[in-house]
Structure 1
Amino acid sequence: MNAWRLLLTRPAEDCAVTAQALAEQGIYSSSLPLLAIEPLAETPEQRSLILDLDRYHAVIVVSKPAARLGLDLVDRYWPQPPLGPQWFSLGEATGHILSDYGLDASWSEQGVDSEALLAHPQLIKALAQPEPRVLFIKGEGGRSLLGDNLNAQGVQTDSLTLYRRRQPQYAPNTLLQRLTDEALNGLVVTSGQGLLSLRALAADAWPIPVTLFVPSSRVAEMARQMGMGNIVDCCGAGTPALLNALRNTPVPTAA
């Protein structure tokens, strides 16, 4: 497993955490963040939603940045978290941020996509009451499938949007130069947006002839449609899922 040499593309803070975990396993990695998190200025609408937190039956936090920024708001406006809503996350890593804060958070062990959370018994139970209400804590865009499904079931949903993602600017040929100079044999993306940013950065060099590690079947299918060949579905966006995929994937033979 330690013959893998990976390029990590998450936001810088997450790259650092993953790189440390990989290094502990003897795996070399290089970081080239393709997404940067830009918190949004607080608005009256945001303040109103967080002050109404106790009116929701469930709060769904869709990412680690959403968890961190959302908990900052809870700290600001609630002496202690309200007892009303049940907290859910898309993915274990996000859930642990909520749990470490002291919330009784739940997430699906069956996957990190919207379908897995919709089938979670705890979420179904939380919404099995008259006029259920859900608050999403999220970034701009994304996760419309989850909201659309809940709306179709008669659930009222609101969104507390706390950040936007932007693509850092790199010089042309940065990606290929990094792959060549550091003899990297694997690329790691953890979202569909990250994949699109990778494709844009590669430009005419796409598809790149290295193994691509992705977080879900949805992103794997996106990559296939975009022409990538050697794709590994990690079945999760967190570091444990990546490590498990590395254990079970043969290292490519050097040409």
Structure 2
Amino acid sequence: MSAASRILVTRPGEGGERLAQALSEAGFVPVHPGLMHLQPLAVDEVARGAVLDFDLYDVVIVTSPFAAECLVDWLDRYWPQLPQGPRFYALGVATAAMLHQGLGIKANVPDPHRGTTSETLLAMRSLARLDGQRVLVVGGVGGRQTLAQTLEARGARATKLALYRRVYTAPDETAAGWLANGDFTAMTVTSGELLEHLVIWCGQAALNKPLIVSSQRLATLADTMGFASLHVAQGATPEALVTAVQEVGDT
């Protein structure tokens, strides 16, 4: 496989597989080095009080498909009948689809044409004022701290419920060579923590290759790390990332 046809997909799990499939269908040759995987937290690591008090929340925001999958498992365990009180929000359509499949509910989703970021979620009119409302933000350990802080600034009483952790691993010998030598056309990254992890293995050639990120926040972080060819996609969906890769190829 030549470097001229190789797109590095760093997103873990099913999300990465969907992106790789979309890139393949668009005529690219994606490779998916294992740099991170998602691990559900053990029962004694989860703040079960938030699950037991689930009916007391006015708003539930789910930040990723894996968070939705974990939440479905926990609610099945403690709530045979889903409470009717909370309004559900999902950061993207894949997360909303997981919630609909597992819980039979329709979650509010930001306009996908505006991107799938915390900023687009917070721009929704129904989240503009949350005076006294209890908001549960469901995600992984760490990450998206700004989301809860912004909700609190709008009057909400926000609680973060972490249901999984990100486990980082070193790239195998082949992937390490790609990163060291820049043997790829472009690389996609949708997580700041993952970007901080993989930059350790990036040589100067890799830092000069096109890096497609899913938000301006990530682009700012990547710039501080020395990445020199930054391209911001309109969100983290496979469609948005593929479009950004295509635009890089056209330049």
Same fold, judged at TM 0.5 (above): yes
In structure 2, the partner of 1:121 is 125
Q: Superposed, which structure 2 residues align to 1:64-143 within 5 Å?
A: 64-101=65-102, 102-109=104-111, 110-124=114-128, 127=130, 131-143=132-144
**AA matched with 1:121:** R
State which drifts further: 51-60 or 4-13.
4-13
Contact 2:67/2:140 (CA < 8 Å) preserved in 1?
A: yes
* C-alpha distance after superposition, 1:115-157 (max 9, x if no partner): 32222123337x36xx210011111111111111222233111
Report the Cα distance in structure 1 between the residues aligned to 2:77 and 2:169, rounded to whole angstroms. 30
**Structure 1 counterpart of 2:198, one-letter code:** L
Q: Identity across aligned pairs (percent)?
A: 36
- Alignment-derived partner of residue 35 in structure 2: 34
Q: Provide the residue aligned with 2:248 in structure 1.
A: 249
> Measured at CA, do residues 205 and 44 of structure 1 come closer, stay the same or move farther in structure 2, by a change above 3 Å?
closer
In 2, Cα distance between the equivalents of 1:151 and 1:251?
A: 43
Worse overlay, 57-66 or 10-19:
10-19
- Report the 3-state secondary structure (helix = DSSP H, G, I; strand = E; otherwise coil) of the residue aligned with 1:159: strand
| Contact 1:7–1:184, Cα closer than 8 Å, also in 2 | yes
- 1:245: how far off? 1.5
* Aligned CA-pair RMSD: 2.5
Letter in 1 for 2:245: L
Q: Report what 2:227 is aligned to.
A: 228
- Alignment partners' CA distance in 1, 2:186 and 2:45: 44
TM-score between the two structures when normalised by the length of structure 2: 0.87
Is residue 186 of structure 1 aligned with residue 186 of structure 2? yes
Aligned equivalents of 1:4, 1:214: Cα separation in 2? 19
Matched residue count: 245
User: Do the aligned residues in 2 keep the contact of 1:91 with 1:236 (CA within 8 Å)?
Assistant: no
What secondary structure sits across from 2:222 in the alignment? helix
Question: Is the deviation greater in 242-251 or in 69-78?
Answer: 242-251
SS at match of 1:26: coil
Quick check: 1:106–1:122 contact (8 Å CA) kept in 2? Answer: no
Name 2:162's counterpart in structure 1: 161
Quote the residue 1:146 is aligned against: 147
Q: What SS does the corresponding residue of 1:97 show, helix, strand or coil? A: helix
Deviation at 1:172, TM superposition (A): 6.5
Query: What whole-Å deviation, never above 9, does each CA across 1:161-211 have from its counterpart, x for those lacking one?
Result: 111112112356743347869x52011111111211120222x54753321
Alpha-carbon distance in structure 1 between the residues aligned to 2:199 and 2:82: 41
Normalized against structure 1, the TM-score is what?
A: 0.85
The amino acid that maps onto 1:226 is M
| 8 Å Cα contact 2:186/2:210 also seen in 1 | yes
Does the 8 A contact of 2:128 with 2:154 survive in 1?
Answer: no
On the 8 A contact 1:86/1:104 being kept in 2, the answer is: no
**Does the 8 Å contact 2:214/2:232 carry over to 1?**
yes
Which runs of no fewer than 5 residues in structure 2 stay unpaired?
A: none
User: Which segments of 5 or more consecutive residues in structure 1 lack a partner in the other structure?
Assistant: none
Task: Report deviation, 1:4.
Answer: 4.9
> Which residue type is aligned with residue 185 of structure 1?
T
